[in-house]
Structure 1
């Protein structure tokens, strides 16, 4: 049986229903039945706790037995890793800071010229001036040890998947799990295995940073031209010689991209590592100052991480490109000058901790922030409350629960629900009469979701809805996958938490899709706008996740709205980039054909460029969803509910079962959303003949 597509029509009673229309009709019927039968069978809406499996207890007991079994080996490994950590720490802190700046500046010159050398010099000078040099060197020592581990582990997995095709799918699945399971979820078992300390953060960083390396190794080896492989075979070399002397060097550029992404992933983990590491590094400074509400200091420490991220990203990114390098003599001269300064002024060099040149700036930020919030507190509260009362809260608990006299000025009534459904049905009928039956039915479904609220949706409706979307996007297998995965969440006893996570991430993704898509559209139409937006996107993509929490906390304090903003800032970049890329890569002949036929610019955009760019835009939506789920767990620190909160509580309580189960449920939501969007993108590419 072939997978059905949206374009397939089936005659039924004289009315032609597409696959999408039939799927939407089934979902509508199930939703209506659940609403009608809820007073009689309340379990249709609220899944009974007694029906859930004690998955957290089972997983916790099994993992504790396993962890206790291998704990001696893990503790030995932990003690062994403590030595390179200590050596790296002594090395980075022992090198005089002028020489460190000179070494990085020289490397920047060699791989990127004056622009990168200037960026390196100014960036590290900022770090010295901040007074956080020692903490930054401690952070670099963690990165310096975790990245080689991640490179070895990820590179080994990539080579294994390339050499043994039978394990390729298993490696791909492992990479998906490592990238979708929130990092907080596997911190709890790591704590039990390796104990409290910086080594736990090191191992967590290595686990998080390994998948990008594995994926790029696999991709690079796949792209080695067949002629190169055949030449290696004809030369009579063994398989290992072919691999390490020919294929890996040929794939070196793609592998270096993996090194770049590995470095950035490890650096983004420094604050999460500080949560469990108790390490006097820059991540710990960010956490400490945030907890004390010293936002000026927190912003300064966060900017230090951003500076490191930008410098490391630019240098490693340039090393990944096959470009001509600059003069080694000038690099040597820069190092020599820095060395002379360090030696001549050895006894006069101030301690890095005493160089608090930017402390007045941090104090000014704190005082300015206090003055701003006092002067504009009512406006900020009005913005936050307006977004909560008129946007987020109705999405969460529905108009029926959110529309109250003290917020909206009136009480939502049953008659208003009838009016809402009636208006939706009328508009849906208009769409159906115009030939778009699926859109008309989905409009009625959307009205029901808004009236009920995502957190209170009946579980049969959600399961059937996910299955219907899967059927339309990819056929029977995808539908079965979506239903079975969500059924596992339902049986885990964390369904209510999952819906809360789905609500907040869904609201953020919708916001990113609207605003990110609009910004991407403007950038596609205006190169000047893209020149302005591009550096902002570059900066947002290099900022570690935790740093996004600082500015929203500065203005809106702890709460769900702050978490929502942090998720949006982090997840909007892929939507902007992919929308713009999809629209500007439409073949010129298609645009010329539309223009020659008399189409206006708007018609060309809507009828030619947008449909052709749809697969790329859907890929951007896919990345936005994954980014939103990744940030959702971090946002649990500032006031969210749902699975992220459960994961964080499990970490603080050392509850392995709850942590793993909550993390798995979060990964399932992300994985289902990922597969559904990919299904639609694949279907669209087939329709375009791509």
Structure 2
């Protein structure tokens, strides 16, 4: 069994290049890169006390990029502003119409229409979900604010679908533009949402139109990607049949290919609706109008967590309804009786006719006002009774996990936290132990693991935010070269060097630190949960709806529970990021481990492998590409949430974006947003490169 499992593991991980094991022919590329990183890191640590430029980029070499960007965009905006303001005034008409329709319509009619739609596309369960959900919205007292939000969604979604659909068709039809369009889509989805708002405010003026346009920018890429994917997957036989029947290119596209790609396109519709709903809530920070996002933000600022929680539940209800209904429309499922649909609509019309005389006005409902007061009192009592425990969890995590990772053990280990003082002698001892362990691993043909241990030790002692910039650039360049060759290496170094040169290196390192801490927890906890769900089908039955629920909740809402118990601060931001980013790791780990071919598992079992050996030697190596993609998504999710977490007390690039929004500093906002997008893009390209190498090694 040992020989079989060992050979299977090596084959699955790409042999010497994949594992980094040394052999008779000399060092592998992985060993050379790891050794270079150790060498550069050691030189930087030795020289940094005497050469300040190693840790801090010289101010004389810092480009005034924020000023340049601000001046350039201001000049451009002055030229574009008349046209933009005209467009804003034009877009106000459909928005005002949607608001008048939804706010002015009797709530009984609105609830009836959605209930009837739910019945028609999903049966009794969907109808009950719509009725109960909108009934809660009405009873909460947030009906008017919710309809304002829904009106913005009603206008933004069609625009996003049109823009995204046209981009997807263009990318499919003009192959030479496809790569450039995909890059633009990556940028649109990786640039933080807050970064859109600063330039849009200057261009279009203050008001809900800014939220509308930002929503379209954010929600169009999912539609474009799914249209492109759907058109690429159309069977060649279908295209050939259209050509044989004399169809022109436009007829092929409109009458054959787009209908054939309908299911994938409807998935894009679902994702666009969810993205639009998430973005219009984020746009509430500009205070454009009285929508539900503004209610959440206002109650959070007042520490009225009872009302904030109820408003957050309203947002979750809209997100769940939007997700379930659009998903049902995307499926080619059975449509239910038109007679029942018509009966529900008729009943809604009848009730609406008598609403003014028989029912309270929408703004008079406040069924949960007392519940909000009870929540606040209960929360206060809970914190008073368990404040010591909560502070212990918060301070313990900060002092023993986050702070060492941020500023290093040298500065974080102090008598009042750890009980002793870190000294130079301790550093020497730690590095000596790590060196011995690295030598032992190298002698056992695990040189990369040994050198990686040395690198991790240096990072832990120094701290992520204190890492010398030459080491970071060399490490990223080396990882890029291993993952995708020279091109990816140059991309990683040049993009990261751009952040360094414009003076945003320190907040960028803070972003990397908080993202790294969150991702490590997500990988450990999410990976363990995903592996447990792969082993136990019952565990997956429990976790799947939890994952569905967490992925449905808009980012904004994750802030409410952490603020309720831990107040504003870095720890609360850390928890919110973990809660949002853990789901991809669970899903991809479960999917990867359960998609291992049965014949591989049967061969291992026939060779006498235990369940643990099958997991370690067969399932995990085979699922590595999928798990890496889960890691990629986890990192991107963490960066997305990082900007939202700036609202509750981070000091990274997200905070720079938020400050720029408050100050109207378009240069800083764009530069910080671009820097955040660069970090996300570099991480995305590196992990995709390693995943591609692993798939190639597996012959996939």
Of residues 243, 266, 272, the one that matches 1:262 is 272
Aligned-CA RMSD value: 1.5
**Contact 2:22/2:28 (<8 A) preserved:** no
**Contact 1:136/1:281 (<8 A) preserved:** yes
- Residue equivalent to 2:308: 298
Q: 1:506 to 1:10 in 2, by over 3 A?
A: closer
Of residues 666, 686, 690, the one that matches 1:676 is 686
Measured after TM superposition, the shift of residue 12 of structure 1 is 9.9
Q: What do residues 85-113 of structure 1 show as CA deviations (whole Å, max 9, x unaligned)?
A: 10000000122111111111111111111
Of residues 122, 136, 139, the one that matches 2:132 is 122
Matches within 5 A, 1:50-69: 50-69=60-79
1:500 equivalent to 2:506? Answer: no
- Residue equivalent to 2:466: 456
Q: Distance in 2 between matches of 1:8 and 1:217?
A: 35
Q: What do residues 510-531 of structure 1 show as CA deviations (whole Å, max 9, x unaligned)?
A: 1100000000001111111111
- Residue equivalent to 2:630: 620
Q: Distance in 2 between matches of 1:443 and 1:671?
A: 26
- Residue equivalent to 2:237: 227
Measured after TM superposition, the shift of residue 150 of structure 1 is 0.6
SS of the equivalent of 2:418 reads coil
- Residue equivalent to 1:359: 369
Q: Distance in 1 between matches of 2:304 and 2:287?
A: 22
Q: Distance in 1 between matches of 2:132 and 2:19?
A: 63
Q: Distance in 1 between matches of 2:263 and 2:360?
A: 41
**Contact 1:400/1:451 (<8 A) preserved:** yes
Of residues 591, 600, 607, the one that matches 2:601 is 591
**Contact 1:5/1:19 (<8 A) preserved:** no
Of residues 179, 195, 199, the one that matches 2:205 is 195
Measured after TM superposition, the shift of residue 223 of structure 1 is 0.8
Q: Distance in 1 between matches of 2:260 and 2:343?
A: 33
Q: 1:343 to 1:309 in 2, by over 3 A?
A: same
**Contact 1:614/1:684 (<8 A) preserved:** yes
SS of the equivalent of 1:16 reads coil
Q: Distance in 2 between matches of 1:183 and 1:15?
A: 50
Q: Distance in 2 between matches of 1:473 and 1:333?
A: 60
Measured after TM superposition, the shift of residue 16 of structure 1 is 2.7
Q: Distance in 2 between matches of 1:84 and 1:516?
A: 43
Q: 1:498 to 1:8 in 2, by over 3 A?
A: closer
1:472 equivalent to 2:482? Answer: yes
Q: What do residues 142-199 of structure 1 show as CA deviations (whole Å, max 9, x unaligned)?
A: 0000111111111110011111111111110110000000011121110001000011
5+ long unaligned stretches in structure 2: 1-13
Q: Distance in 2 between matches of 1:286 and 1:38?
A: 47
- Residue equivalent to 2:353: 343
Measured after TM superposition, the shift of residue 40 of structure 1 is 2.4
Of residues 33, 40, 43, the one that matches 1:30 is 40
1:41 equivalent to 2:51? Answer: yes
- Residue equivalent to 2:106: 96
SS of the equivalent of 2:26 reads strand
**Contact 1:500/1:642 (<8 A) preserved:** yes
Q: What do residues 48-91 of structure 1 show as CA deviations (whole Å, max 9, x unaligned)?
A: 22211111111111111111110000000000000111000000
- Residue equivalent to 2:381: 371
Q: What do residues 443-482 of structure 1 show as CA deviations (whole Å, max 9, x unaligned)?
A: 0110000000000000000000001111111222111111
Of residues 255, 279, 286, the one that matches 1:245 is 255
Measured after TM superposition, the shift of residue 15 of structure 1 is 7.2
- Residue equivalent to 1:556: 566
Q: Distance in 1 between matches of 2:244 and 2:17?
A: 49
Matches within 5 A, 1:44-193: 44-193=54-203
1:658 equivalent to 2:668? Answer: yes
SS of the equivalent of 1:599 reads coil
**Contact 2:20/2:31 (<8 A) preserved:** no
Matches within 5 A, 1:314-463: 314-463=324-473
Measured after TM superposition, the shift of residue 437 of structure 1 is 0.3
Give the paired residue count.
687
**Contact 1:71/1:194 (<8 A) preserved:** yes
SS of the equivalent of 1:516 reads helix
Measured after TM superposition, the shift of residue 217 of structure 1 is 0.5
Q: 1:124 to 1:629 in 2, by over 3 A?
A: same
Q: What do residues 570-611 of structure 1 show as CA deviations (whole Å, max 9, x unaligned)?
A: 000000000000111111111111111110000000000111
1:488 equivalent to 2:501? Answer: no
SS of the equivalent of 2:343 reads helix
- Residue equivalent to 2:619: 609
**Contact 1:18/1:438 (<8 A) preserved:** no
Measured after TM superposition, the shift of residue 14 of structure 1 is 6.5
Q: Distance in 1 between matches of 2:409 and 2:183?
A: 40
Q: Distance in 1 between matches of 2:602 and 2:42?
A: 48
Q: What do residues 619-644 of structure 1 show as CA deviations (whole Å, max 9, x unaligned)?
A: 00000000000000100110101111
- Residue equivalent to 1:289: 299
Q: Distance in 2 between matches of 1:562 and 1:311?
A: 28
Measured after TM superposition, the shift of residue 278 of structure 1 is 2.3
Q: Distance in 2 between matches of 1:524 and 1:113?
A: 32
- Residue equivalent to 2:4: none
Q: What do residues 250-278 of structure 1 show as CA deviations (whole Å, max 9, x unaligned)?
A: 11111111011000001011222111242
**Contact 2:20/2:446 (<8 A) preserved:** no
5+ long unaligned stretches in structure 1: none
